[in-house]
Amino acid sequence: MPYWRLSIFYFFFFASLGALTPYLGLYLQSIGLTPEQIGQLMAILLATKIVSPNIWAWIADHSLRTLPVVRLAAFMAFAVFLVMYWSVTFWWIALVMFAFSFFWNAVLPQVETTTFKHLGRDERLYGRVRLWGSLGFIVFVLGLGPMVEHYGPSTTLPAVAFALLGVWFATLLIPEPGRAERLQIQARFRDLFKRPEIVTLLVCCLLMQASHAPFYAFFSIYLNDYGYTKSAIGVLWAFGVLCEIGVFYYMHRIHWHFSLPSVLAMSFVVTALRWSLVAAFPESVTVITLTQALHAVTFGAYHATALQLIRKMFRGSHEHRGIALYGSTSFGIGGAIGSFYSGYIWAYVGPASTFVTAAGVAIAAAVLVISVIRPAYQRVLVNQ
């Protein structure tokens, strides 16, 4: 298994996310965009995940050599993002972000599938590869924070461009996995959606990202308005991701002791608690630090668990499209809906109400997991 070559990819891909997520909103604010416009632009960044991963997954399902296409997408994401240097109007930025994210969002789902193929039966080692993505996020968040503090939010652009160049370089290093025989699967892809637990899982994943969208789009602005420095904001973002590393490393042991639906339901309940605390105590450094520690559960435990459930439900030749659908439904549709609603609630009702709404969305997802997914999962175990 090409551990280090895969790890380099995860490092740079999530490094680009570490530059975009905490600081892009501050950059857009610095050039005069309104909260509604920032929410709409973040929605565009996420909305392409609805279409892009599924297009590339369809190509992957009809070809055993997917990495050349992934390399092209990675290079195009880097090239298109460079146009952001000359983008100052809302509509021009919207166009560039749409084109950039169309290619950028195509890369990760296919590399995820490639990673699992390289891992083979050692699926439990996924977290130990994925944790390098968390490290990349931390390095860029901590490194970029002081630069934004001293030189302004415009330093976000070269940082993202450098990370994207690293992503493209990393895709050149990853080898194609061995040609595995395609499994004969009785159910057609569309027939899988007759199972309510599959549809419910996708809806829950959508709700999780809709719940997180205010955090990704406005958390840095929120803290900045309460007097936190740019460097302190970067440290808080990095701390949250640092906490998730331990979860990724030991996730396989957690799954030995608790069922996948139980971990998933817990992650939604903790998410609701997290946003409630953010809404109620923004001025408390201690409470905000605690909420960032909860990122280990609200993202780390959630993502590792949801991905395992997706792979159990979409097997064999459906795996590419299953993982792509997970990304497009949750990070795409869910993220876009969340960014859109949060921009308007933030502008017309207030920041605290935005996070309270996000907490309510997470509770709704927890109810669905407990009432639909967990009983179906238990029936499967009984019948095995």
Q: Is residue 223 part of a domain?
A: yes
DSSP at 34: -
Give the pLDDT of residue 181: 47
More confident residue, 139 or 324: 139
Among 189-193, 256-260, 331-335, which is the least confidently predicted range?
A: 189-193
CATH at residue 20? 1.20.1250.20
More confident residue, 342 or 291: 291
> Could you give the CA distance from residue 372 to residue 195 in angstroms, rounded to a whole number?
11
**Residue 269 lies in domain:** 3-175+189-383
Q: Is residue 63 part of a domain?
A: yes
DSSP SS3 for 184: coil
> Could you give the CA distance from residue 127 to residue 204 in angstroms, rounded to a whole number?
22
Residues 301 and 259 sit within 8 Å (Cβ to Cβ): no
Give the position of tokens 């998410």: 271
Q: Tens digit of pLDDT for each residue in 268-305?
A: 999 999 999 999 999 999 999 999 999 999 998 998 89
Span 157-168, average pLDDT? 95
Q: Is residue 142 part of a domain?
A: yes
pTM: 0.76
Q: Is residue 184 part of a domain?
A: no
pLDDT band, very low/low/confident/very high, at 382 (cuts 50, 70, 90) = very low
- φ, ψ of residue 273 to 5 degrees: the values are -65, -40
> What is the number of structural domains in the chain?
1
Among 142-151, 211-220, 245-254, which is the least confidently predicted range?
A: 245-254
DSSP at 176: P
Q: Is residue 180 part of a domain?
A: no
Q: Is residue 182 part of a domain?
A: no
Q: Tens digit of pLDDT for each residue in 22-33?
A: 888 889 989 899
Residue 63 has pLDDT above 70, yes or no: no
Residue 186 has pLDDT above 60, yes or no: no
Residue 86 has pLDDT above 80, yes or no: yes
Q: Is residue 183 part of a domain?
A: no
